[in-house]
Structure 1
Amino acid sequence: MRSSRTVLAVALLGMVLSGCNDTVALTPGSDEPALAQIVDGWTSCAKEAPRAGEMIMEASPPAVNEPAIGRIDPAFTPVTAVICGREIRPGPNGGQEQIATERHAREITPLLTALRLPSEQAGGEIACTLDMVIPPWLALVDDRGRWLRPHIPTDSCGKPRAEVIAASAGPHWTTVDTRTIRQIESAAAEAAGCAQQWTDLVGVETRNGRPGPVSPAIPPAAGPLRLCVYEVPASLQDGEKPAGDFVYGGPLPTERQTGVLRALSNRRAVVDCATPATRFAVLRPIDGTGPDRYVELDGCRRFLVAPATGGAQLGQGDDALAALLGPV
């Protein structure tokens, strides 16, 4: 289990989870941050930062009344640091869920010292990596309940300075609140060994130009297949990437797999059809060897054989094939 002492350090080093549209106040005529806006009455992450940790597109407008980030006012004496964020954890009945978290730390002197360092100038001879690192939603609170969002100084690569990362691992971070945001993976999907969501590659490939017909050069499955069936919401059925939600699945019984592979090897001409599927099946080799197979369970009843090396090929299924791909 991840230690609470390293929560901020992990957040600083992790890949981007939240948008980078926070407002940073700048000193007039300078690239240096101005003093951070001090706000009266800290309440909670749920109220002050309800979207912290959410994937936000750059074009998204900043949150209403979001205080400007900046340098810590010398007259402001923080006594508590607060991190608002999100993480994924096992659900109470299986599967996974996304939760919002609020964590506090009071032993923050080294962190404050690091936060008061200047940012380094960009450039120089140091080679920079391409990974994007976005600081977490961090607030500092004084003994009167006032709070501000400190500017996190960066190195010459534009990433949080090493001193901040090191200091952030020192305090003991206490979780004071959690709330469930959404389900990431249901218990049923986890038990079946299937992802909670998947994209209908038949729909994607046919929208981008019909693939060639299925070729005998594509080898049959060398081992057992896993069946995962998804339902596409009506709002996404005509989209460029029709994504479906898990309905049922599990290892495909051997007797059914024989019939499915036989049906997928037919040379039937693909019908001229544009009816989107509401349900589709994904057949994946359990041992990871061999192509993935996608089957429309209604609509045009097409199927797609998709080798890992590329060159997906399209075929025509029927009601009998769809029946073989019922609940396992």
Structure 2
Amino acid sequence: MRSVVVLAVAVLVLAACARPAAAPALPPSPSPPVTHPAWVACPPGDDDPTAPLGLPPLPAGFVPAGVVICADGLRTRADGGEDRVRRERRGSDVAALVAALRLPSEPRTAEACDLSLVGVVWFAVLDAAGRWLRPGVAADACGKPRIEVRDALDRLTLTTVRTTVLGETKSAAAAASGCEQRWGEMIGAVTAGSAGSAGSAAPAGGADAPKGPVRLCVYTVPASEQGSGKPAGDFARGGLLPADRWTVLRAKLLAAGPPVPCPAHAGRFAVLRAPDGAGGEVYAELDGCHRLLFSTPSGNALRQGSAALAAEIDRP
């Protein structure tokens, strides 16, 4: 019997690594690439790093003199907040990149390929007249962008010429408090599907909470997320709790009894955790059912709070 089990496991491993599981290369478009008369700015973000595999190859008559790369990232502001930005970077030493773009796709291998998703950053090439186009990228034997193109893109010398702010990812207030801008409402997540009861979906492990310094972070849950499978909240306020206040509050939290059936969804919740994240965290619904969730390294425990306890947690 043991040999049969070992053989079955081996077959599953080989099947997971076999060629059909690798992302197939898209056939290049039969149409020529669209050549634009002049560059304006980075287009809206393209989230598919494998899209160049399906684009038409670089035309023989197009002679690149430069490259532009567009990529989204994060940037910390002077006030400590953080923005998501789109950076436009340019380079002119494109000989290696052009040579790599002229390479053909390799024949598909019959050997095993790994399952990693490999792509390339959004880029376009420009000629001396300022015209630009997005060239296709040849595929390797596993249907992924050829390593020569990826290496050439990585080795480019680039200068950032434009940075566009797409939106705020962390406010200055959240940064100053040490809290994240957005956080999952885990009580709603772990009780989703339990029909508002403390039934089988409610964890019933041992309750514990960090003993040392604790940071309180308060979040507001948009109405559109309340009752969803993965509700999340937006930062409202937060900061480190005085040690004496946490000592009293921790004892009251740990003394909470088992949860009771309740169909309401929280519109506000708090997260209490150590500054270094060690020891797990405590979630508290500040309205709705006033439940508590102790998330510890050994598991989760759901308990029942009260309006009075929520008010004490929420006290500025």
2:244 paired residue among 240, 255, 275: 255
Superposed, which structure 2 residues align to 1:273-292 within 5 Å? 273-292=262-281
SS in 2 for 1:236: coil
* Equivalent position of 1:5 in the other structure: none
Please tell me whether the aligned partners of residues 228 and 282 of structure 1 are also in contact (alpha carbons under 8 angstroms).
yes
* Equivalent position of 2:100 in the other structure: 114
Give the distance between the partners of 2:61 and 2:204, measured in 1 at CA: 72
Q: Report the CA distance shift for 1:221/1:214 in structure 2 as closer, same or farther (over 3 A).
A: farther
SS in 2 for 1:282: strand
* Equivalent position of 1:26 in the other structure: 29
Residue by residue over 1:62-119, the C-alpha shift from the partner in whole angstroms, topping out at 9 and shown as x without a partner, is 9xxxxx8211111111212111221111123212111111111111111100111112
Give the distance between the partners of 1:207 and 1:308, measured in 2 at CA: 22
> Which amino acid letter does the alignment assign opposite residue 144 of structure 1?
A
Residue by residue over 1:266-311, the C-alpha shift from the partner in whole angstroms, topping out at 9 and shown as x without a partner, is 343533322211110011233443232110001111111122333x
Give the distance between the partners of 1:36 and 1:138, measured in 2 at CA: 14
Residue by residue over 1:228-271, the C-alpha shift from the partner in whole angstroms, topping out at 9 and shown as x without a partner, is 11111122113221110111112222122122222222343533
* Equivalent position of 2:166 in the other structure: 181
* Equivalent position of 1:71 in the other structure: 57
SS in 2 for 1:141: strand
* Equivalent position of 2:37 in the other structure: 40
Give the 4+ runs in structure 1 shifted more than 6 A: none
Measure how far apart 1:326 and its partner are: 2.6
Structure 2 unmatched runs, 5+ = 1-22
Give the distance between the partners of 1:190 and 1:267, measured in 2 at CA: 32
Please tell me whether the aligned partners of residues 25 and 36 of structure 1 are also in contact (alpha carbons under 8 angstroms).
no
Please tell me whether the aligned partners of residues 108 and 171 of structure 1 are also in contact (alpha carbons under 8 angstroms).
yes
Residue by residue over 1:153-198, the C-alpha shift from the partner in whole angstroms, topping out at 9 and shown as x without a partner, is 2322333322223322443212121110011112222222221111
Q: Report the CA distance shift for 1:225/1:100 in structure 2 as closer, same or farther (over 3 A).
A: same
* Equivalent position of 2:81 in the other structure: 95
Q: Report the TM-score when normalising by structure 2.
A: 0.80
Superposed, which structure 2 residues align to 1:123-138 within 5 Å? 123-125=109-111, 128-138=113-123
Please tell me whether the aligned partners of residues 37 and 131 of structure 2 are also in contact (alpha carbons under 8 angstroms).
yes
Number of corresponding residues: 286
Give the distance between the partners of 2:136 and 2:168, measured in 1 at CA: 33
Structure 1 unmatched runs, 5+ = 1-19, 28-33, 63-67
1:190 paired residue among 170, 175, 182: 175
Please tell me whether the aligned partners of residues 214 and 305 of structure 1 are also in contact (alpha carbons under 8 angstroms).
no
Cα RMSD over matched residues? 2.8
Measure how far apart 1:35 and its partner are: 3.7
* Equivalent position of 1:163 in the other structure: 148
Please tell me whether the aligned partners of residues 215 and 240 of structure 2 are also in contact (alpha carbons under 8 angstroms).
yes
Please tell me whether the aligned partners of residues 78 and 140 of structure 1 are also in contact (alpha carbons under 8 angstroms).
yes
Q: Report the CA distance shift for 1:104/1:287 in structure 2 as closer, same or farther (over 3 A).
A: closer
Q: Report the CA distance shift for 1:129/1:189 in structure 2 as closer, same or farther (over 3 A).
A: farther
Please tell me whether the aligned partners of residues 263 and 317 of structure 1 are also in contact (alpha carbons under 8 angstroms).
no
Please tell me whether the aligned partners of residues 209 and 281 of structure 2 are also in contact (alpha carbons under 8 angstroms).
no
Q: Report the TM-score when normalising by structure 1.
A: 0.78
Q: Report the CA distance shift for 1:71/1:302 in structure 2 as closer, same or farther (over 3 A).
A: same
1:105 paired residue among 58, 79, 91: 91
Is 1:51 matched with 2:45?
Answer: yes
> Which amino acid letter does the alignment assign opposite residue 166 of structure 2?
I
SS in 1 for 2:191: helix
> Which amino acid letter does the alignment assign opposite residue 242 of structure 2?
P
